[in-house]
Amino acid sequence: MTNPLLAPIDQLIDYAHIEATHIEPAITELLAQARSAVETIANQPTATWDSTVSALHNATEQLWRAWTIVGHLNSVINSPELREAKTRCLPHITEFSTWLGQHAGLYEQYRQLAQSADYVHYNAEQQRTIELALRDFRLGGVELQGEARQRYGEISEQQALASQRFSENVLDSMDQWALYITDPTQLAGIPDDVLSAFAAAAAADDKTGWKITLKMPSYLPVMQYAENRELRHTLYQAYATVASDQATKPELDNSQVIEQLLHLRAEEAQLLGYNNFAELRLETRMADSAEQVIDFLHDLAQRALPFARQDLEQLKAYALDLGITDFQPWDATYVSEKLRQAQYNYSEDEIKQYFTEPQVLNGLFHVAQELFGVSFKAADLSVWHPDVRAYEVYNADQHCIGYLYLDMYARAGKQGGAWVNSERSRRQTATDLHLPVTYLVCNFSSPQDNKPALLTHDDVITLFHESGHALHNLLSAVDEPDVSAFAAVEWDAIELPSQFMENFCWEYPVVALLSSHVDTQQPLPLELYQKLLAAKNFQSGMQMVRQIEFSLFDILIHHQPQGLSIQAVLDTLDQVRSQVAVILPPSWHRFPHAFSHLFAGGYGAGYYSYKWAEVLSADAYAAFEENAVPLADGSRNTLVADTGRLFRDEVLAVGGIRPAADSFAAFRGRQPSPEALLRHSGLSQDAA
């Protein structure tokens, strides 16, 4: 059988027939082809755009696509065979990537292009491609010599392996934990549809009763609704100690992995002439320095802390009403849900009955069409799991502009969380246009009892968030992949489209489109929506300082001239919490050990990006509020086509052709202001 990973770049991948045995032969063959082609390019006497930049893409894009697919499958259908195949290939991929970034001959080709008479005639995409390539060569160690050059390669390989090990330890630690319950009284308060899922999970293991896991569709409802305080404590402790010295599997402890990664990152920064890893990372960000980031976060914290303290006092007071006299962290989610129901007279379970997955998807697609003029049509494409659905994406002229794969449900062997990745970016060649291919992955509850899957309103927000990332890739008008959104937009601006899309989930005309009760098919009633909206900023102060806690912890552990011991890491987190947290977890809590964003997901020294980009996204959405059309029922329509097209053209379509600050200014007509974020979060005098 033909190896699906070797499909030509202009063909779609036959995911259903990829096997673990395909990985090593495909990667080995593509590496050899790419290395040979790169040597030819690097040794040519004269550099031209076609013979250098275009030729380099031709030489490597099939390899990078295959490797992206390997990583993707490892995340969504993990198996021992897939994992072993990836692990065997990873050192070779890392070595090639380092070799490529340090190739003096290739670097010289790009320097020739930058200095050539033709450079002034290149378009903006081409000039930006060369500019970023030269920067990345420098950051990739091209100017290192001798032992430093060799050591850089070793560091790159060790970091890649350590990040993979971190991710595997988290996945295995979560997958190997389960709690089987046979006494129904222990599950009092948990909604019926969740109990049905627990029962089905137990039955799948040939057991009676109910099975609870640490996957979010299982963990969160227990923490929200279980009246059994000891059960909440058990789950909280299991989740808080995943992949740590406090868990039951010492071989999955990420303590040494964290230490190793921090030491390697600090050493990498020193080799490249930077004082610390944060300084190195910020070379490619909007923010100018770690000090600027720290000041930004402290300023937000000072604004949010008074509200967060009020939130906590209210929570503790209500806990007393529930008979909880010694309020603990494992009570917080449960008491919050009870307080929300008491204050706003609705429960998340009640709301969830209205958000059936098919209706939510239809509504999301309608929003994208209204705003950006694109439509989604189901496509019969090969997929990696029966749950996955594929779509062709069309523009207003009914030309196909890309492909979207949706993988929505939690399952064993699939990493938790939600994310988007690009299998293939848009690229215009001399003879063809390669369309973008995008994955959108979530971990929602799957359909139960022959009914559609039900999403919480938070799930809906998550889906809209990830759709913003997907649209950033799918709506690209960029011809050169090196300046596409995911390749070139600064990390602290990449969350702008995703956080921007979340705002529409709070507008009643959109909510009506998204909702259809699982039994009556009626949209969410206006009265219930108004309760949901009134609760929008419920505990927003606590939520804000929690994100600031993560961000400060991240920037501080990476703003060191050398790595840290795991005790120093935990001490840093304690220091941050003493400054900005209002709920202090117990001493056995090991949050960093499962913080995959930092240690396996590329967000090291960059987690602040969520708050940084939230300023941009809130201000961008304010443009839609300013141009909204008032409706007869007192609501407003923010699906403003003209403003949506401007956002598409000036932010989404341009990718990384220019700095993100310039794209924001082109859309908004000015620099960003934090006032909209504070207003949206209910943390200002004129909060809305």
pLDDT tens-digit map of 440-464: 999 999 998 899 999 999 999 999 9
| Residue at 154 is within a domain | no
Final residue in a domain of this structure, among 116, 139, 162: 139
In this predicted model, what pLDDT tens digit does every residue of 373-406 receive, in sequence order?
999 999 999 999 999 999 999 999 999 999 999 9
| Residue at 479 is within a domain | no
Residue 449 CA to residue 48 CA, distance in Å, equals: 62
* Between residues 682 and 439, the one the model is more confident about: 439
Provide the CA 129 distance to its chain's centre, in angstroms: 25
Percent of the chain with pLDDT over 90: 96
| Residue at 231 is within a domain | yes
Residue 134 sits in the same domain as residue 34 = yes
Confidence (pLDDT) at 633: 84
Question: Tokens for 531?
Answer: 């309760």
* Catalytic residue numbers, as ranges: 466
In this predicted model, what pLDDT tens digit does every residue of 181-199 receive, in sequence order?
999 999 999 999 999 999 9
Residue 94 sits in the same domain as residue 17 = yes
Residue 52 CA to residue 38 CA, distance in Å, equals: 9
Final residue in a domain of this structure, among 111, 139, 167: 139
In this predicted model, what pLDDT tens digit does every residue of 126-169 receive, in sequence order?
999 999 999 999 999 999 999 999 999 999 999 999 999 999 99
- Cβ neighbours around 342 below 10 Å, total: 11
Q: Helices 20-42 and 80-101, interaxial angle, to 10°?
A: 10
Residue 202 sits in the same domain as residue 127 = no
**Distance linking the first and last C-alpha atoms of the chain:** 60
SS3 sequence of 308-338:
HHHHHHHHHHHHHHCCCCCCCHHHHHHHHHH
Residue 127 sits in the same domain as residue 198 = no
Confidence (pLDDT) at 682: 86
Residue 514 CA to residue 534 CA, distance in Å, equals: 19
Residue 34 sits in the same domain as residue 130 = yes
Q: Please give the average per-residue pLDDT across 614-642, as a whole number.
A: 95
Confidence (pLDDT) at 1: 60
In eight-state DSSP terms, residue 594 is G
| Residue at 287 is within a domain | no
Position 687 pLDDT exceeds 80? no
Final residue in a domain of this structure, among 119, 139, 159: 139
In this structure, is the dihedral angle defined by the CA atoms of residues 320, 322, 323 and 329, taken in order, positive or negative? negative
Residue 8 sits in the same domain as residue 126 = yes
Residue 9 sits in the same domain as residue 82 = yes
Total number of domains in the chain: 2
| Residue at 54 is within a domain | yes
Confidence (pLDDT) at 688: 42
Q: Please give the average per-residue pLDDT across 13-18, as a whole number.
A: 98
| Residue at 192 is within a domain | yes
| Residue at 41 is within a domain | yes
pLDDT tier at 498, thresholds 50, 70, 90: very high
| Residue at 76 is within a domain | yes
In this predicted model, what pLDDT tens digit does every residue of 24-56 receive, in sequence order?
999 999 999 999 999 999 999 999 999 999 999
In this predicted model, what pLDDT tens digit does every residue of 550-573 receive, in sequence order?
999 999 999 999 999 999 999 999
Residue 126 sits in the same domain as residue 34 = yes
pLDDT tier at 686, thresholds 50, 70, 90: low
Q: To the nearest whole number, what is the mean pLDDT of the chain?
A: 96
Residue 597 CA to residue 44 CA, distance in Å, equals: 41
Residue 30 sits in the same domain as residue 120 = yes
Residue 133 sits in the same domain as residue 232 = no
Confidence (pLDDT) at 674: 86
Asked if 452 and 356 touch (Cβ cutoff 8 Å), the reply is: yes
Strands 210-212 and 179-181 turn out to be antiparallel
pTM, rounded to two decimals: 0.92
The amino acid at residue 285 is R
Residue 215 sits in the same domain as residue 121 = no
Q: Please give the average per-residue pLDDT across 241-252, as a whole number.
A: 96
Residue 107 sits in the same domain as residue 194 = no
pLDDT tier at 685, thresholds 50, 70, 90: low
- Alpha-carbon distances, residue 570 vs 5, 92, 235, 251 (angstroms): 42, 34, 22, 20
In this predicted model, what pLDDT tens digit does every residue of 354-371 receive, in sequence order?
999 999 999 999 999 999
| CATH, residue 75 | 1.20.1050.40
Asked if 223 and 333 touch (Cβ cutoff 8 Å), the reply is: yes
Range of the domain at 52: 4-101+103-139
Asked if 72 and 421 touch (Cβ cutoff 8 Å), the reply is: yes
In this predicted model, what pLDDT tens digit does every residue of 261-272 receive, in sequence order?
999 999 999 999
Question: Tokens for 369?
Answer: 């069409």
